[in-house]
Each structure stands twice: as structure tokens, then as C-alpha cells.
Amino acid sequence: MAENYSGKYWVGFDLGGTKMQAILFDSKLKPKDSERRKTKGQEGAKAGVDRIIETISRILERAGIPKDRLAGIGVGVPGPLDLERGILLESANLGWKDVTLKDDLEKAFGCQAVIINDVDAGVYAEYRFGAAKKARCAIGVFPGTGVGGGCVYEGKILRGKKNSCFEFGHCQVQPGGALCGCGQRGCLETLASRLAISAAAAQAALRGEAPNLLRIAGGANLAEIRSRALAESIKAGDKAVERIVKDAAEWLGVGISIAVSLIAPDVVVLGGGLVEAMPELLRSEVEEAARSHTMRSMRNSFEVVEAELGDDATATGAAAWAQRSITGEEPKD
């Protein structure tokens, strides 16, 4: 007899590089409680997993939900994963390797756990509840420290047999270009990530071409040149920074045009802190570039939209994907 999941609860967890977030959902995936905490960088995998378990336990306790009413847990995780075994193979930001997240959570809570890539989770959330709702094929592009990507095709997350895929930021668009963190040269994220933009903007500031950025960021310290500082410097009149951002947006458009040719998405979702800081500039520049680099017959086959769910997207998508995976039922929302 199939298990009855009616009246049970789900947890979505976002294991980010700088923060972690747990959200408790009812059986209709309506949020009931949540908790956000900073990650303690390089604290060690065991201590980190203990904090995940503690965070989930706290929201269950606050909501008065016993463990036996928890149907499943979904976790969105950055870094390479073994999806079949639910193992985080490596996370550079956290300093974790070969972490048995699925087994650890299932032992702690007595329910099934599903581990997925964090960007995949965010794109799935936008497909279910946000900017790409009911799209036949939706891709997500999230420029940040790198350039994350994900794809939902006919209601399913596009993935490999064992691993996540759609590594959008590691498409080579400039052979022989700058060295990427992955070890290859000329990857999209060397040209279009927030980190790449900030590095170029810092150089412009040191050349005297971005005086407002120097003032806003308190110097040319790369760590201080974040998305909001870039947006404010453009608003204040730093044309050099505006040009740098537009150049990066064009490269994102080039990458999207390749995806359009390969998989024909009807919706392209742009998200992340950089997009949130300057949504209209990024969206319009990316869209123009994507259409201009796409073959004529496909130029009007897609729309470019901004993500709607913000910081809750990964945890929401992780819970929704866990529910779909564990129950085996197609969502009815």
C-alpha cells in the first residue's frame, strides 16, 4: 500500500557558502516556519552537519511538529554531488569533502532525504512557484562569485545519471582566455561573474576611471566591491563601471544563446545578488545580447525574466523536489 503523505510536513534546506536556511512546509508546501544562520567557515564537516540537524530540529520544535510527522527533507548544496548516494563530494567554500548528507539526515530524523544542487533547487522553485511557473523548459542563470546554471525540462530537473549538470559558468566562450577556478581557460564565469566584474571595476577605480566606486566601496578592495556598490557607482555616474557590467551582460547573453540553440527554453530566469542590485540594466542587456547571438528563427522563442523568490528559492525548491521525488506524484499546484 502506498504511503499516505497527507498532513505530513517537509523541510527544505539551503546549505550556502556563507549562510544556511531551513524552511518548514506543510503538505501543500506552504511555509510554516524558517530559520537562517551564518555558516561557520571551515568549521569541519561533522560540526557543520550537526548544525544542520540542530537547525531543522529547532524549527520542528518551535512549530510543535514531532519527527514522525516529517515526510522528507530536501537539501540544496553547492559543489559536486553524488546524487544517487546523496554525498557532497567537495565544497571549496565550506572545506567539506565526501560528506554523507543523505544518510546523516535520514538517521537523525527517520525520514527520506534528497540532496540536489543548490542552483537546480532555485530554478525548480521558480518553475513551480515563481517567474518560470509552468514553463515547458526553463533555464536559470545566476551570476555571483561564479555563474550558476540550472534547467527544468518538462517538469524535471535536467541532470546526469549520478551528477548535476548545466554547468553554465564553465562553458568555454573564450579559448585561451583567463584561468578559471575549475582549471580551464576562458570559461564564461571568468568574464561574467560578479567576481570578474568587481575585479575589472577595481582596476578602473585604480586608474581613476571610477571615482564614485572608490568612495562608495572605501577604496579598491575587491572584497568590498559587491553588487550593491557596483549599482550605486553606476547610478552616481561611473561610466567605466557601467561599461564593464554591460560587457559582462553581453557575455551572459552569448552563453544563453548557446543554450537556446541546444535546448530551446521558453523562459530564461536571471537571479542572484547582481541581478537584484540592477535588475533592469542586467535583464535588458542580457536579453538584447542573447537575441542578437541567436539564429533568427529562434530569436523570439524565449523570454528573459527576473527571479521572483529571492533568498528562499533554494530551500523552497529543495523541499518541492524532495516531495516530488519521494511521493512519485506530479505536482498539482
**CATH number where 63 lies:** 3.30.420.40
* Domain identity same for 109 and 39: yes
Q: Strands, E, within the chain: which ranges?
A: 9-15, 19-25, 31-38, 70-77, 81-82, 87-91, 96-99, 112-117, 137-143, 147-153, 156-157, 267-270, 303-306
* Domain identity same for 100 and 222: no
* Domain identity same for 110 and 154: no
2 domain residue, yes or no: no
The residue to which cell 516530488 is assigned: 324
332 domain residue, yes or no: no
Per-residue pLDDT of the chain in tens (333 residues, 90 and over written 9): 457 777 899 999 999 867 899 999 999 999 999 999 887 655 688 888 999 999 999 999 999 999 999 999 999 998 889 998 999 998 766 778 899 999 999 999 999 999 999 999 999 999 999 999 989 999 999 998 889 999 999 999 999 988 889 999 999 999 999 999 888 999 999 999 999 999 999 999 999 999 999 999 988 888 889 999 999 999 999 999 999 999 999 999 999 999 999 999 999 999 999 999 999 999 999 999 999 999 999 999 999 999 999 999 999 999 999 999 999 887 776
* Domain identity same for 150 and 256: yes
203 domain residue, yes or no: yes
42 domain residue, yes or no: yes
Q: Total structural domains in the chain?
A: 2
Contacts of 147 (CB under 8 A, 6+ apart): 141, 168, 169, 188, 189, 192, 193, 252, 255
* Cα–Cα distance measured from residue 116 to residue 119, given in angstroms and rounded to the nearest whole number: 9
242 domain residue, yes or no: yes
Sign of the dihedral defined by the CA atoms of residues 27, 32, 33, 39, in that order: positive
* Domain identity same for 158 and 254: yes
* Domain identity same for 173 and 230: yes
* Domain identity same for 79 and 154: no
Contact 113, 101 (CB under 8 A): yes
DSSP, collapsed to helix, strand or coil, labels residue 16 as: coil
* Domain identity same for 170 and 251: yes
Contact 268, 256 (CB under 8 A): yes
Q: Domain span at residue 111?
A: 9-124+312-327
C-alpha cell at 250: 553581453
Contact 37, 52 (CB under 8 A): no
* Domain identity same for 268 and 161: yes
* 187: nearest Cα among 179, 195, 196: 179
Amino acid identity, position 71: A
* Domain identity same for 25 and 117: yes
Query: Across the beta sheet with 81-82, what order do the strands follow?
Result: 81-82, 87-91, 96-99
Burial of 172 (0-12, 13-18, 19+ CB in 10 A): middle
* Domain identity same for 49 and 157: no
The residue to which cell 560540526 is assigned: 47
* Domain identity same for 301 and 165: yes
Amino acid identity, position 177: G
